[in-house]
Structure 1
Amino acid sequence: MIEDQSSLLPLPRLEFVMPQSDASAAKAYWPAVVAISLAMFGLIGSELLPVGLLTPMAQDLNVAIGAAGQAITATAIIAAIASPVIILGAGRFDRRKLVVLLTATIFLSGILTALAQTYWVLLVARALLGIALGGLWAMLTALALRLVPPASVPRAMSVIFTGITAATVFAPSAGLYLGELWGWRGTFGAAAAIGFVAVIGVVATLPRLPATEPTRIDSFRIVLTRRSVVLGIVMVMLVLAGHFAGFTYVRPIIEQVAELSGETIALALLLYGLAGLVGNTLGGILAQRSASGGAIVAALLIGLAALTLVFLGGSPIMAFVSVTVWGLAFGAFPVCITTWTANAAPDRAESAGALIATSFQVAIAIGASAGGPLFDNSGAFGIVSFTSISLFAGALAMLVLGLPLERGGKLMSSRAGATRGH
């Protein structure tokens, strides 16, 4: 189905407009791309570890499970704030040094979490992780643009998001398993060790990345005058809110519709994660042909998978197929939409990346918080109705507004007539 859709989009390959001062773009630094992927694996893994460790964390720190869960909320909130703040504050600071410092923060957060004796120390440690999350995520597009040639950017984004997806797949279950072996403190110690290895990786592989131009608040204004960037933010908000509204509650949805056991649902979620890894690679292929087309196809498939799960998921086979297709499509979406951003603002990749990173975190919070009341009041049908409407709206917006911009090679156009030298 994905191949048939993409064949309808014979769009010309777009060339990235690189900042003239960026000399590193002529050479491909693939080991550095892999190191960034490892850093993101450690980062997202650390963010999600509490999912499988909330009960022992709450008992050890003598707080309610709900309070312990705020360790995840704190990370997301700080990340949403940190994305634009770090990019604004970076000035002329060498981006290699910034990446090293942010990656080291993953290690520091893991150590502090493992040693935390009070709830407030835990929250401080998780806030530090949020700083690393917001800063690194905001820089992903800019790093890809500077570490590999323009034609290889979609592939580089695919490699980076493979680390992110792998962490999303394995962190919750690994946290639960390792928590039984080593306790929750030992598990966060292991996460800190991954962060330490990631620090060594980025130190050893990243070239010097001097700032091409300090980011000022005016840079965000200029980026927001570009319809293509605003469209990317709108699609992220719609697709991510819809996805997380549904997927956050996918277990009770499957239990209600298919009446599967916990072990069987765990297998379905494993297939979701493995399909997501495949989706990362597929997303890179689609994005190289058409970033907007890949994002549209991914959003449509997620919406269709959610509807299929509710209306045909009474069959265990269809439930498994629906969840697997959902994972495949969602694995492709971040790669496509991040590549779209790279096309839309290669000259202001850090500013655009910060806005997209903040949009990701806000959309996750909106979707996860909206899903609970919807499920409680309307069950699986209500929550999936919201999910599909939100996803189809995002796909429609990109289809109507995005494809013409990409086809015409006008992704960098803006009402303000942004200059190319910035």
Structure 2
Amino acid sequence: MKYFMLKYAFLSMTHIPQHDFSAHANRIRTLRVVALALSAFIFNTTEFIPVALLSDIGASFGMPAHEVGVMMTVYAWIVACLSLPAMLLTAKIERKKLLMGLFIIFIISHITTVLASSFAVLLIARAGVALAHAVFWSITASLVVRVAPKGKQTTALGMLATGSALATVLGLPLGRILGQYLGWRTTFGAIGAIAFIAMMVLWYILPKLPSRNVGDLSSLTLIAKNKPLIAVYLMIALAVTAHFTAYSYIEPFVLHINAFSPTYATAVLLIFGLAGIVASVLFGRYYERFEQGFLWLAMIGVLVSLMLMMILAGHVMLWTALAVLWGVSMTAISLVLQLRTLKLAPHATDVAMSLFSGIYNIGIGGGALLGGMVIAHQALGLTMIGYVGAGVMLLAVLVHGASIKMTRHA
């Protein structure tokens, strides 16, 4: 009798109303989204940190900044080439286990970066990071949608984008400060250490995530026939190329063309990141109500920003406003086109996103290469990177207009 009384008391004490279970489940799901957003912060920080440390890395190897910029091109094109094949090779691997493997590769590569004795060794280490990056961004957008609270998928994508944006808000400025005072190797070492912490958090908080809706090589045929999706890929390739033609060399532009202080160069990176967070919030709240207008405004915003880079050079307040417009607009473009990719390929999300990631990185590498060529050209130089980027961005705007017309006549 005593046993049954104790059992009844225990059940009474542990009885939780159904709505409490639901609230608890949503909190857990939100924490999982936050953990993946933290991972996005880490991966984006390491991808773009060379932008903040070009001069320092170049000085340690006796190279000019525009030659060190090849770090970004090599990294981006490795990601571009490996995104699809690496995703297909890992298609059947349970996603939590895959994430753990990616983080191990990521951490070992950062240790190698810290110990790099030559620029060639540094590039090899970056190739290892790029391999982890290629698979990470192929699967993360679909994973964050899977683990998000019910009905909060768009918000979850916005949180993932916020994690990405925080890379420029916190990652790049702090990495630059750390690099200036303790050396650029310390910055990469710190990124590796934070990655280890993130790996432990993900191991603890994520459930098993069986692979699903990955797609296979046959999905490529369907994607190739999906004209709206092809238009999305073309827009992201052009927009990212335009952006990174100028953004890859924002540090030397701010220092040598604007003639601003190194402190302001750090501040510009911070402003870009904060603007990205603003874009993430705006996307979560307003995109579903203003789908077409949202993308139009974002594209025009980047176009105008690139055109005004040189015109506003030397004017601190105006250049600060330009950085805000540029950061908000570029983040918004990435978010919109990423969501459209997921919606246009619901049965092959990982294949579609691996292509998106690969094409995005073709744009990064192409932009860094194009900007470096403009700077190295005797008749052009650093002052022209904004105008050349604007020319490429205009093509993206034209593709968007053509895609809308195509959709209306479909």
CA 1:110–1:326 in 2, change beyond 3 Å: closer, same or farther?
Answer: same
Displacement of 1:224 after TM fit? 2.1
State the match for 1:360 in structure 2: 360
Alpha-carbon distance between aligned partners in 2 of 1:308 and 1:399, rounded to the nearest angstrom: 23
Alpha-carbon distance between aligned partners in 2 of 1:150 and 1:223, rounded to the nearest angstrom: 28
Give the partner amino acid of 1:394: A
State the match for 1:387 in structure 2: 389
Alpha-carbon distance between aligned partners in 2 of 1:53 and 1:315, rounded to the nearest angstrom: 24
Displacement of 1:265 after TM fit? 4.5
State the match for 2:144 in structure 1: 144
Is the 1:283–1:333 contact (alpha carbons within 8 Å) kept by the matching residues of 2?
no
Alpha-carbon distance between aligned partners in 2 of 1:182 and 1:270, rounded to the nearest angstrom: 20
Structure 1 portions without partners, runs of 5+: 1-25, 411-422
Q: Which moved more, 1:222-231 or 1:268-277?
A: 268-277
CA 1:180–1:309 in 2, change beyond 3 Å: closer, same or farther?
Answer: closer
Alpha-carbon distance between aligned partners in 2 of 1:312 and 1:190, rounded to the nearest angstrom: 36
CA 1:220–1:391 in 2, change beyond 3 Å: closer, same or farther?
Answer: same
Is the 2:275–2:324 contact (alpha carbons within 8 Å) kept by the matching residues of 1?
yes
CA 1:384–1:115 in 2, change beyond 3 Å: closer, same or farther?
Answer: closer
Give the partner amino acid of 2:400: M
State the match for 2:278 in structure 1: 278
Is the 1:223–1:351 contact (alpha carbons within 8 Å) kept by the matching residues of 2?
no
Alpha-carbon distance between aligned partners in 1 of 2:62 and 2:88, rounded to the nearest angstrom: 37
Is the 1:243–1:387 contact (alpha carbons within 8 Å) kept by the matching residues of 2?
yes
CA 1:112–1:252 in 2, change beyond 3 Å: closer, same or farther?
Answer: closer
State the match for 2:245 in structure 1: 245
Alpha-carbon distance between aligned partners in 2 of 1:311 and 1:116, rounded to the nearest angstrom: 40
The 3-state SS of whatever aligns with 2:215 is: coil
Q: Does 1:215 align with 2:215?
A: yes
CA 1:207–1:389 in 2, change beyond 3 Å: closer, same or farther?
Answer: same
Displacement of 1:261 after TM fit? 4.4
Give the partner amino acid of 2:94: D
Q: Which moved more, 1:230-239 or 1:174-183?
A: 174-183
The 3-state SS of whatever aligns with 1:289 is: coil
State the match for 1:14 in structure 2: none
State the match for 1:126 in structure 2: 126
Is the 1:91–1:214 contact (alpha carbons within 8 Å) kept by the matching residues of 2?
yes
Alpha-carbon distance between aligned partners in 2 of 1:389 and 1:51, rounded to the nearest angstrom: 22
CA 1:358–1:325 in 2, change beyond 3 Å: closer, same or farther?
Answer: same
State the match for 1:6 in structure 2: none
State the match for 1:344 in structure 2: 344
Q: Which moved more, 1:350-359 or 1:326-335?
A: 326-335
Displacement of 1:187 after TM fit? 2.9
State the match for 1:332 in structure 2: 332
Alpha-carbon distance between aligned partners in 2 of 1:81 and 1:168, rounded to the nearest angstrom: 25
State the match for 2:42 in structure 1: 42
Q: Does 1:321 align with 2:321?
A: yes
State the match for 1:81 in structure 2: 81
State the match for 1:401 in structure 2: 403
Question: Mapping of 1:124-203 within 5 angstroms?
Answer: 124-148=124-148, 151-203=151-203
Alpha-carbon distance between aligned partners in 2 of 1:147 and 1:281, rounded to the nearest angstrom: 20
State the match for 1:416 in structure 2: none
Any idea what the Cα deviations from partners look like across 1:337-379, whole Å, max 9, x if unmatched? 1111111112111011011101111111222222234354345
Is the 2:76–2:130 contact (alpha carbons within 8 Å) kept by the matching residues of 1?
yes
Is the 2:72–2:368 contact (alpha carbons within 8 Å) kept by the matching residues of 1?
no
User: Pairwise CA RMSD of aligned residues?
Assistant: 3.2
Q: Does 1:232 align with 2:255?
A: no
CA 1:330–1:212 in 2, change beyond 3 Å: closer, same or farther?
Answer: same
State the match for 1:91 in structure 2: 91
Alpha-carbon distance between aligned partners in 2 of 1:260 and 1:120, rounded to the nearest angstrom: 32
Is the 2:32–2:205 contact (alpha carbons within 8 Å) kept by the matching residues of 1?
yes
Any idea what the Cα deviations from partners look like across 1:278-331, whole Å, max 9, x if unmatched? 122223334333555422221111112222344455644322221221112122
The 3-state SS of whatever aligns with 1:346 is: coil
Is the 2:73–2:364 contact (alpha carbons within 8 Å) kept by the matching residues of 1?
no
> TM-score, length-normalised on structure 2?
0.81
The 3-state SS of whatever aligns with 1:124 is: helix
Alpha-carbon distance between aligned partners in 1 of 2:240 and 2:138, rounded to the nearest angstrom: 17
- Larger Rg computed on CA atoms: 2
Is the 1:309–1:323 contact (alpha carbons within 8 Å) kept by the matching residues of 2?
no
Displacement of 1:226 after TM fit? 0.8
Task: State, as a whole percentage, how many aligned pairs show the same letter.
Answer: 26
State the match for 2:14 in structure 1: none
Question: Mapping of 1:284-295 within 5 angstroms?
Answer: 284-295=284-295
Give the partner amino acid of 1:242: A
Q: Which moved more, 1:366-375 or 1:352-361?
A: 366-375
Give the partner amino acid of 2:305: A
Displacement of 1:128 after TM fit? 1.3
Structure 2 portions without partners, runs of 5+: 1-24
Q: Which moved more, 1:248-257 or 1:215-224?
A: 248-257
State the match for 2:12 in structure 1: none
Is the 1:215–1:351 contact (alpha carbons within 8 Å) kept by the matching residues of 2?
yes
Q: Which moved more, 1:119-128 or 1:342-351?
A: 119-128
